[in-house]
Structure 1
């Protein structure tokens, strides 16, 4: 396959750090791994944290800095959640790759230690059986193979695997770190964020991406393609899929009104506009949690229902019914109605 032209290359890949020291905002992780690179000796590793914070980038950078471009393909096996990683793959593909010993000695200035690396991205989506099958493989071939597990939720990695790894937590990126990176990319690509509202545009991008730099860069590139080289906060919000603040406030006001018909009308408006209900729940939750005039008891009642609705949506429940259920229960809590009250 021909390589992507520079103009069509996703900015996420174009500006992905190539060395561990360039990974932003993960100072403790970078410091430890820099020492690891100097000694060319590393344990099994487990990288966990929110998406878009540099976990995969760091794992790939370590592998490239250890082996260089020539030996990388023969020394590193990458498996993602999109690959079949059930127990059969662990017993065949992973085991056969891990079992082969390799030579030591530097090559073209790279350390090239005497082991291979298996990178298991999104490891928390592996089945428990597959994870159990890895235990023995890790022990048997530890002299010639190192495993790098990458996941969002460390609780989904079985304890026997987690205990065999050095754990590295990746923190969500702060607005300052994200701002500096976005401004750097904007400068490199010749973009001008609205000069009168640069801070507003950066803040909007940081808010809608929720500390995920990958998502922020993707939104920036999408806005550049749609609106040209001059981008405003409104442009960034429009490409992000975030529900307009006015729609969230309208639903919140309807819940406060105590009128079920008004709330039902707003719910219908949201469904007809095609907004994702899971996104509406997230944004409505922000409004409620930050509401100074809402008691802790009311917030607790509402949040309990939000959690139930979120689980139902994940299981495939009807979006209209779940949002209506949330709206009616929020109304009961805000208007101090009894939880047993039912609308006919």
Structure 2
């Protein structure tokens, strides 16, 4: 096995683009931001889109290209969802950092070093509404010396007064072609061998999330060495085996609640992700030929509701049981539970 496989550095970090122009597939975003870097005329920014599409990478690249390694730590404040970003932090830490004026000293480094600081708020959609409201005044008061970069998956969770103060950039899911190109480059660098089936599988299971694809690839490389098959990638990805999904679907079609409940408990006991199960169950139901469009619509509506509840922290067993019960009712043309 190549020695590089024993390195402790995650490949996600090792192969993270260091410059804005290297960010894959976000052509419009890159074009606008490259111009921003040239003029150093930087507005508040809001990056939104699916995970693993380059939002955080782009924000960090801009900051590094503006200030260089010497000034980065003093000019850039990064706060993630894991940090406390409640209303008190906004009023103290963020406000105090935003209030300090900075000069334009270049230190002979060749970096633009514009006369403002940058505050990067990653996963901003997990901030409370009160905390977001507290930022409004801070953004306006210190706009001459501070720029805010908001990064989120769901733009609908950013309050309108904040969103309207920012230039918005949507990051698109990566195409299979772009994913394949990047994965093949990493395989070449790391001495890995992936056949076309494995490449296709990796693109399918990562669903446009390049970070997830690289993580799966590194996990498979550590476990199975330099030759990685489609089966190896599925085993490290957490994708639920097709027979488990089919067993739950068959139990729903049987019309027997106890049978469905047994399969749901089996999914939970095996430790499978219910969110992943809903995603795969959705695919099975949409492609099914023996269910009417009206029945599919009822089932998919419930899957959507359950998926939202899971994001908000609901109990996995109850949500999956709810989906199974309503699927059973829809297939049997009975009123749904709770209707």
Shift of 1:144: 1.0
SS in 2 for 1:66: helix
Provide the rounded CA distance (Å) in 2 between the counterparts of 1:6 and 1:125: 35
Q: Report the TM-score when normalising by structure 2.
A: 0.92
> Structure 1 pair 41/247, CA: closer, same or farther in 2 (3 Å)?
same
Could you tell me how far apart the structure 2 residues matched to 1:242 and 1:61 are? 32
Separation in 1, partners of 2:336, 2:63 = 59
Quote the offset at 1:284 in angstroms.
Answer: 0.2
1:67-82 equivalences in 2 (<5 Å): 67-82=67-82
Distance 1:227 1:162 in 2: 46
Aligned pair 1:199/2:200, yes or no?
A: no
Instruction: Name 1:169's counterpart in structure 2.
Output: 170
Residues 72-116 of structure 1 deviation map (CA, whole Å, 9 limit, x = unaligned): 111111111111111111111111111111112544111111111
Q: Name the counterpart of 1:38.
A: 38
SS in 2 for 1:150: strand
- Matched with 1:273 is 270
Residue in structure 2 matched with residue 181 of structure 1 by the alignment: 182
After superposition, what is the alpha-carbon deviation per residue over 1:37-77, rounded to whole angstroms, capped at 9, x for unaligned?
11111111110111110000000000100111101111111
Deviation at 1:312, TM superposition (A): 4.8
Q: 1:208 Cα deviation (Å)?
A: 1.4
Equivalence for 1:334? 331
Aligned alpha-carbon RMSD (Å): 2.1
Gaps of 5+ in 2: none
Q: Hey, what's the Cα distance between the residues in 2 that align with 1:83 and 1:272?
A: 32
- Structure 1 pair 127/323, CA: closer, same or farther in 2 (3 Å)? closer
Output one character per residue of 1:156-176: Cα deviation in whole Å (capped at 9) or x when no partner.
Answer: 111111111100000011111
Mark the CA change 1:328 to 1:129 in structure 2 (over 3 Å): closer, same or farther: closer
Q: Matched residues in 2 for 1:18 and 1:27: separation?
A: 16
Match of 1:11 in 2: 11
Residue among 229, 233, 237 paired with 2:234: 237
Residue 332 of structure 1: how far off its partner (Å): 2.6
CA contact (8 A) 1:77 1:119 kept: yes
Match of 2:223 in 1: 226
Residue 294 (structure 1) aligned with residue 291 (structure 2): yes
Q: 1:340 to 1:137 in 2, by over 3 A?
A: closer
Structure 2 Cα separation of the partners of residues 140 and 322 of structure 1: 45
List alignment gaps of at least 5 residues for structure 1: none
Aligned residues: 333
Is the Cα–Cα contact under 8 Å of residues 18 and 61 in structure 1 kept in the other structure?
A: yes
Aligned to 1:98: 98
Deviation at 1:261, TM superposition (A): 4.9
Kept in 2, the 8 Å contact 1:47–1:150? The answer is yes
Whether the 8 Å contact between 1:105 and 1:111 is mirrored in structure 2 is no
Name 1:304's counterpart in structure 2: 301
Helix, strand or coil at the partner of 1:119: strand
Once residues 111 and 22 of structure 2 are traced to their aligned partners in structure 1, the CA distance between those partners, rounded to angstroms, is 18
Report the Cα offset of residue 267 of structure 1: 3.0
Contact kept? 2:11, 2:214, Cα under 8 Å: yes
Structure 2 Cα separation of the partners of residues 26 and 146 of structure 1: 22
Change (3 A) 1:341 1:12: closer
Offset of residue 317 of structure 1 = 5.2
CA contact (8 A) 1:47 1:148 kept: yes
Aligned partners of 1:317 and 1:237: how far apart in 2? 27
Instruction: Provide the residue aligned with 2:147 in structure 1.
Output: 146
- Once the 2 structures are TM-superposed, how far is the Cα of residue 255 of structure 1 from its aligned partner? 2.5
CA distance in 2, matches of 1:250, 1:217: 31
